[in-house]
Amino acid sequence: MSFSTLVNDLNYRPRPNSNTTATTNRTDTRSQVSRARSYASTAATSVSISGDISSQLHGGYSHPLARTWQAERQLTKSMLIYPLFITDNPDEMTSIPSLPNQCRMGLNKLVPFLTPLVEKGLKSVILFGVPLDPTVKDALGTAADDPQGPVIAGIRLLRRAFPQLFISCDVCLCEYTTHGHCGILHEDGSLNNTLSVDRVSDVAMAYAEAGAHCVAPSDMNDGRIRAIKLKLIEAGIAHRVLLMSYSAKFSGCLYGPFRDAAGSCPSFGDRKCYQLPPGGRGLARRAMHRDIAEGADIIMVKPATQYLDIISDAKEIGKDMPVAAYHVSGEYAMIHAAAQAGVFDLKTMAFEATEGILRAGATIIVSYFTPQFLDWLET
């Protein structure tokens, strides 16, 4: 029975105070029809109410507060990690055209830039080193763990300036290699996994020893989580360094603005032989199982909104650990472009995208919207 039929039928039901004797004594046709319909509707209505009670949902979310209660997880400031691009030119502060409102900055700009954000409740950042001097790049990515380089100097600076701020470091070689790939290469241009893992784990150690709270390898070489964990244990610092793995990092075109920001575009080929193919759900699940077994404390899915099923898988596979998602540069730029074109309101879509990521299962979100969320979550 449809709802409109139900309402219609209710109109024919006898009122408690009505004179039912008078009603039943009527002999005109209209009365007979009414009685018949009344009788039928009474039976049907009681079946309908008991049978379809679960169809009545609106009462559960009519109030704004009741709507927030419908979410398993609500966005809070502590869930957000803000990506920072630190260059080797100390006074640099350059906007990144393809990544609206985001800048590459030098060490001298870092504290003034972050101070108001920390005051508004920023809890965590993730650092990406961006060497602008092309002469520092080589085949081994030597500059990645240069003690005077932007990341290690940045860790030390931020630890001093903001003792409560949680400092994560992306660990990869692509910003520092002449070829722009995420490891050390064989002669034929393919990744040399053994050498790459050695090198990437050394870089992670350098960041951890400089004071990073978290190292986050994004290179996707096989076995690098195990190598980093073992080196952390060997150095006696595994108890104070969180290992966040970019476990399910998919290849695709959503990283374009990031590559503009970080100068990490490969000089030849692409990353399809180590980043995951977009259709590879099973492969992503295997990578997540592997990284958990190798000692990851957090597993990450990247990108986010095109991969909500993978985030959901991560929550199931890593049910006893936090799950992170990286809402990447291309996702962020698309929302900006569409808002600019009048397709939707920027803030509304930023919340909708981020809440979708939470709903899928993530509780940590790396987001370029972080500065705005610090304002928006205030109200």
Which residues contact Zn ion by CB under 5 A?
A: 172, 174, 182
Q: Min. distance of Cβ 378 from Zn ion in angstroms?
A: 35
Residue 273 identity (one-letter amino acid): C
Nearer to Zn ion, 330 or 371 (CB): 330
Query: How many angstroms separate the CA atoms of 148 and 277, rounded?
Result: 36
**Cα 210 to the center of its chain, rounded Å:** 27
Which of residues 167 and 203 has its CB atom nearest to Zn ion in the complex? 203
Using an 8 Å Cβ cutoff, are 124 and 82 in contact? Answer: yes
169 is annotated as contributing to ligand binding: no
User: 2, exposed or middle or buried, with CB in 10 Å at 0-12, 13-18, 19+?
Assistant: exposed
Residue 278's contacts (CB-CB under 8 Å, 6 or more residues apart) are: 250, 251, 252, 306
Q: How far is the CB of 364 from Zn ion (least distance, A)?
A: 20
Contact 125, 162 (CB under 8 A): no
Q: What does R_g of the chain's alpha carbons equal in angstroms?
A: 29
Tell me if 12 is assigned to a ligand binding site.
no
182 marked as binding residue? yes
Q: How far is the CB of 240 from Zn ion (least distance, A)?
A: 25
Q: What minimum distance in Å lies between the beta carbon of 177 and Zn ion? A: 9
Q: What is the residue-wise DSSP string for 108-169?
A: HHHHHHHHHHHHTT--EEEEEEE---GGG-BTT-GGGG-TTSHHHHHHHHHHHH-TT-EEEE
Dist. CA 87–CA 106, nearest whole Å: 5
Q: Which is nearer to Zn ion, 200 or 358 (CB)?
A: 200
Any known ligand binding at 103?
no
Q: Are 105 and 86 in contact (CB under 8 A)?
A: yes
Residue 305 to residue 352: CA distance in whole angstroms: 10
Host H or E run for residue 96? none
Residue 285, marked binder:
no
Q: Which is nearer to Zn ion, 182 or 311 (CB)?
A: 182
Is 15 labelled as part of a ligand binding site? no
Supply the residues annotated as catalytic: 249, 302
- Least separation, in Å, of the C-beta of 50 and Zn ion? 60
Question: Which CB atom, from 174 or from 206, has the smaller least distance to Zn ion?
Answer: 174
23 versus 267: smaller Cβ distance to Zn ion: 267
Shortest separation between residue 182's beta carbon and Zn ion, angstroms: 3
Residue 265 among known ligand-binding residues: no
What does each C-alpha distance from 203 to 112, 146, 216 come to in angstroms? 27, 9, 11
* The pair of three-digit structure tokens given for residue 162, joined into one six-digit string: 């903001």
As annotated, the binding site includes 172, 174, 182, 259, 271, 329, 368
As annotated, the binding site for Zn(2+) includes 172, 174, 182
As annotated, the binding site for 5-aminolevulinate includes 259, 271, 329, 368
